[in-house]
Every structure is written in C-alpha cells, then in structure tokens.
Amino acid sequence: MPALACVDAAAPPPGYVFAWDGALPAPGIFPGDTPTTAGGVTADRPSDWSTDLSASLYRIEGWGAPYFCVNSDGDIAVRPHGAATLAHQEIDLMKVVKKATDPKSAGGLGLRLPLLVRLPDVLKHRLESLQQAFDFAIRSNVYGSRYQGVYPVKCNQDRYIVEDVVEFGAPFRFGLEAGSKAELLLAMSCLTRGSPDAFLICNGYKDEEYIALALFARSMDLNTVIVLEQEEELDTVVDTSQRLGVRPVIGLRAKLRTKHSGHFGSTSGEKGKFGLTTAQILSVARKLQRLDMLDCLQLLHFHIGSQIPTTSLLSDGVGEAAQIYCELARLGAAMRVIDIGGGLGIDYDGSHSDASDMSVGYGLDEYAGAVVRAVMFACDRKRVRHPIICSESGRALVSHQSVLIFEAVSSNATRAAPLSSVGPNSALFLDELADDARSDYNNLMAAAYCGEYETCAVYANQLKQRCIDHFKDGVLGLEHLAAVDGLCDLVAEELGVADPVRTYHINLSLFASMPDFWAIGQLFPVVPIHHLDQQPGVKGILSDLTCDSDGKVDRFIGGQSSLPLHEIKGGEYYLGMFLGGAYQEALGGLHNLFGGPSVVRVAQSDGPHCFAVTLAVPGRSCADTLRAMRHEPEAMIAALGHRAGDCAAGDAVLCAIARAFDSMPYLVRGAEEEEERESMMRCLGL
C-alpha cells in the first residue's frame, strides 16, 4: 500500500464522489524515512540507552562537572564536594524532591512545587576552589602579596547565602561588596561575624547617608573601603568624614579603555556607565594631596564586564588597570589593593568556548594565573610593591549552589486527531465544501491516489488556506473547518512535514524564577532530573503558567530550539534548571502574581539518604503576593465575607476562600490536589 494510507486507501479515481466514514487507517511510514517516536526524536535501539548517553545528550559533564552527574538510578545527583565527593556522599535530587513534597504525615515536609534546592556544601567548595586557584598562582609565580576576595551581595542577597559566604570565607579573610544602602546594612551586620581583615567594599552611587553608614562601619573596626564611582562623590566623602571625625579609606573605580564586546560588557570601555576617566583620576589624586589625605587613597577598582570570555581579554584589562595602579603609587597614594571586579565566567552550555556569552574558554586556574601575571608584570616594571588582589566573583561563586525544580504537568497532542473526533459526519462535512475548496479537496485525493506526495502537500495547504478564508467570510461552519484541519494534519503527519515539537506545560512562572531568560536571552541548562536511564522520545519546548506569550522556554544550550524529553505517562515528570543561583531570585517579578518557589537548604550528611534538610521555607502564598502589590488580604477576606453571607453555606464558602489566600498561586497536583479537595469538602460540609 502506498505511504499515504490515511487518504490513499479511500481515494477514488478522478470524477467520482468521495465519501467515507471518517475512520482512517493508522498512518504509515513514508518511503525512505527513519522510524521516529511520536515527538520526532529518532528511536533506533531504545534498549541500548544508558545514563552515560543521557549525560552526553544533555551535556551534563560540560556544564555540571564537578557538581552534577547522572547516577545509576537515572536521576541527577549532586556531588557536594566536587571531584572529592565519595559515592555514598552523592545527593539524589529525586529523593530531595520526595522529602520536600511528601505530606508531613508520611515523614515529608509538605512543601509545594516549584522548589529551590540550596546546596551550601557546593557554595563552600566553590569559594575554597577560587581561593586555592589564586593561592596556587601566587606561589607558582612567586607573587609578593595575597588574594583576598569579596562576594558582591547583589548576585544573591539571601540571608543564608551571605552568612555562609562570611562563615566559609573567614579563614581566607573573604569579605563582602555592597552597592546600595540596604546591601551595606546587610554586609555590615554579617561581617561582624567574619574575619576582622575582611574587606567591606562600598560600590554604587552614593549620597551623604550612604557614606555616613560606610564611615560608621569603619568606626566599628570593619575594614571598609569607599570606592568613588563619580568624581563629585569625593566632596561628600571628605565633608562627611570631617563631620563624623572618621578618616576614610578611599578607592577609585577606573573607566578602562579595554572593552568586553559581549552583552555583559556594556558597562566597560570609555563610554561605560561607571568609573572615572584618567583625567578625573588625576583630579581626585591632586585634590586629596591638597587636603593632606592622599594616604587615604589605597584601592583601585575596575570591572571589564561579567562573563569575560578569554584570558587574553582579561590580561589586557588587568594590565591596563595595573598601570594606573602603579601611577597612583608614583604620585604618592598609599596604594595596597587592586580590585579586579567581577567577570569570572561560568560555562552555561558546557562548550568550554569563548565564542558566546554562554560559555568561557578557561577555568579557575587559568583565570587566577592570568590575573597574577598581569599585575606582577606591570608592578615589577615600575618597581611597585605587589598589591593585594581582590575580586568580586559573585556569579562564579553562587551559580552552582542552587537548583530550581519544577514539574511538567501536561503536553499538547502528539499525533493528528482522527477525523472521527470531529463528529460522526465528518466525511459529509468535507463533501459540503464550496466549489473552489471542493476542487482542491478532489485534487488532493487524486494526488494521493497517484502517489504524488509533493503535490499532496501543495493541495493540502491550498485547501486549508481557502477554507480559513471561507470561515472568516461566514461561508463555512466550524465543523467543516475542523474536518479540513484534521485532514490536513493527517496529510502533514504522513508526509513527515508536521511540526514534531511538542509544548510541555510547566508549573512555573518564567518571570519569577528565570527572568534573565526573558530579559536578556540568558540560557540555563534545563534537564529532566529522573528517567535518564531511558531514551527521551519527544522534542519539546516549555510553556509556563503566566498569561503571557513570552512565558516560554524555546531556546536551549547548544543552540537547540527544543529539548529532548520523555513522555508524561500519568505520573510526575520533574525538570531542573541549573546554574541559576546568581541574580534570578533578586530579579524575579510577580507577573500574574506568581511568587517565588518553596526553598530547602540541603547539606550532605551520613544519614540514610546522604543529606539533611537544614531549612525549609514554603513558597509565597497568594496573600503574600497580594501584599507585595499593596493589597490587604484581611480586608479582602472581610469584604468577601459580607458577600458570602448571602450565599447558602456562606461560612463554609468563606472558609474555602480564606484557605485559598494561604495557598501558593501555583497548581496543586497529585496527593496535594486530593488533600486540597478533601479540605474544601470539609469546609463546605460535604
């Protein structure tokens, strides 16, 4: 039988009236085609599939090493201590999800998805690895000073993350960087428990109140440096310090010529948003000299841009800044610190490439070595003492330490529906088409009968467009249009030109949890966290819960426009977004009043599941998100109570409404859905 079995088996010779009962044979394989799964992913020998193949397919070794891998159960596992993690220390993310979402009566925490899993052990390992990379570069190059980093709290201001950085970094004098008054207050409080030598770097635009806070911090023996972003800030610093009687330590942010050409380099170069030009730097130095305060100038800061792609660009920028540092020392400033800012990139797509903003062509050791050599070269030529090297590597520190887990709740249809689904008389609907559409229809059938498949596609498209025009003109009924759509979909499927990509609907707000994807096109690794011992059979994109056409993930790492996924077969299907620990929580919005996810803090332990949950926080409720937009849930409940009083079972209705205010805005699924239904029924007395 020819390949277009769906139409061919019933196609009459030209000139005969066509009629059939709408029950079409199953589509066959087009000649020469490779068998595919329903979603369009080639399925050669699914029995040969392995977890190693899944790891390769999703590039997990590229972007996830040394912290994420696929275990023998086909689940994503966390290696909290990096490459030094022992097998029995790996944390299975599916077990974390089960612990977090199981009801309390079953020993779980009763949290709802989406779920943000924080991994403090990974954060600790990242900080220690950064320190070790610089320590090695300093030793191997016989550098005459030390590395002393700071964490820019803007990357993630979560209390426990900042406190962890201070605790884990105390042995290394690791400090904090603030860019606003609120961040400064946060940093001041946290650093009271840190190393007394840790830097408190004060960046950002400043007014008198900001500068006063920084000087108060210095008076409390916090190692505070006020970095001038604009020349006019110097007058405020001088006046405020004299009024308070606190001598400041001052830094300058230099506006370098070196420019990072990628998206993240928009704040670099001569026309960058921040920093002082060489003329302004000289002006500040001379003014401090006149005021007998040149000894207060001790730090030079610069920032090439986030995600610096190559060490050659890095060396160029650091070398330029080091020359400015040496010149300031020559002018008499008491220089002792060069702050190279951020820019240490991470490999989002696993390509280890410098060709895009999604990857970098170096590792920690190469980065640290390039910085140390560039500073050392400039200082040695000018015979200037080697400065303390400070960096603000926030993205590289915190990106790996959290995983966002969410559920795919459904997907769109995979195959064209049979014409019988339109109604019992679908064939008659096709017979009742207007003359021009009827001609296209007969030509389509004749082409199918003769095996002219390219011609079939032409007539199918022509028929569909003509019938759409007739429907818009009111000539064609809805049943007729549905019958034509069904026929054309079947033809497209048989010809192999149907879109193989399916839409998976996810219980998540892109705008709340992945804002950088929508805002700047940032790609994050998105991977199923289970079933990785099975071959994915579907090509999919992800559509979120919001009423916004931008609420979808349709671009993935590796330049892919779809993601290999598994069928949703009546159970849960969980996906994880990785490397999103920087910026996403602070930037997330409340579109459609979807708030942030539930949060668990998971540490490696010697217990039966290799982990312990040290903190569990439910996601924001409907009441919480309403309050964020200045609504008053209590007043809203009272107003609804007056209206509910006029209803039958008014008290029960109000009880159910009040419960909804306390619930998360996201969908309730599975056992949670049953619990919610039973609670609602109890409220209603049913």
Catalytic center residues: 547
Residue with tokens 């009040």: 658
Q: What is the CATH number of domain 120-399?
A: 3.20.20.10
Is there a contact between 36 and 43 (Cβ–Cβ < 8 Å)? Answer: yes
Contacts of 15 (CB under 8 A, 6+ apart): none
How many other C-beta atoms lie within 10 A of the C-beta of residue 273? 10
Residue-level pLDDT at 418: 61
Give the pairing of strands 574-577 and 563-565.
unpaired
Residue-level pLDDT at 261: 72
Which DSSP helix (H) or strand (E) runs through 212?
Answer: helix 208-219
Average pLDDT per consecutive 10 residues, the chain (686 residues; last block may be shorter): 41 38 35 39 64 97 97 97 96 97 94 97 98 98 98 97 98 98 98 97 96 98 97 97 97 91 67 87 97 98 93 96 98 98 95 88 97 98 98 97 97 65 60 87 88 88 93 90 87 79 95 94 97 96 94 94 92 95 93 95 90 96 95 93 79 88 88 58 56
Domain 50-119+400-414+500-619: state its class.
mainly beta
Is there a contact between 508 and 545 (Cβ–Cβ < 8 Å)? Answer: yes
Going from N- to C-terminal start, the domains of the chain cover: 50-119+400-414+500-619, 120-399, 419-495, 622-684
Alpha-carbon distance 376 to 386, whole Å?
A: 7
Residue-level pLDDT at 632: 96
Give the pairing of strands 574-577 and 598-604.
unpaired
Residue-level pLDDT at 425: 57
Torsion of CA 411, 416, 422, 428, to 10 degrees: 170
Alpha-carbon distance 60 to 350, whole Å?
A: 7
For helices 311-330 and 278-290, the axis angle rounded to 10 degrees is: 30
Residue-level pLDDT at 17: 36
How is residue 382 written in tokens?
A: 């000018």
Task: Check the CA dihedral 82-85-91-92 and report its sign.
Answer: positive
Residue-level pLDDT at 114: 97
Peptide bond into 114 cis (omega under 30): yes
Burial environment of residue 659 by CB neighbours within 10 A (0 to 12, 13 to 18, 19 or more): middle
In 3D space, the residue among 629, 686, 611, 627 whose CA is nearest the CA of residue 652 turns out to be 686
In 3D space, the residue among 486, 489, 674 whose CA is nearest the CA of residue 105 turns out to be 674
Which residues are paired to 471 by β-bridges? none
- Tell me if 50-119+400-414+500-619 shares its fold with 120-399: no
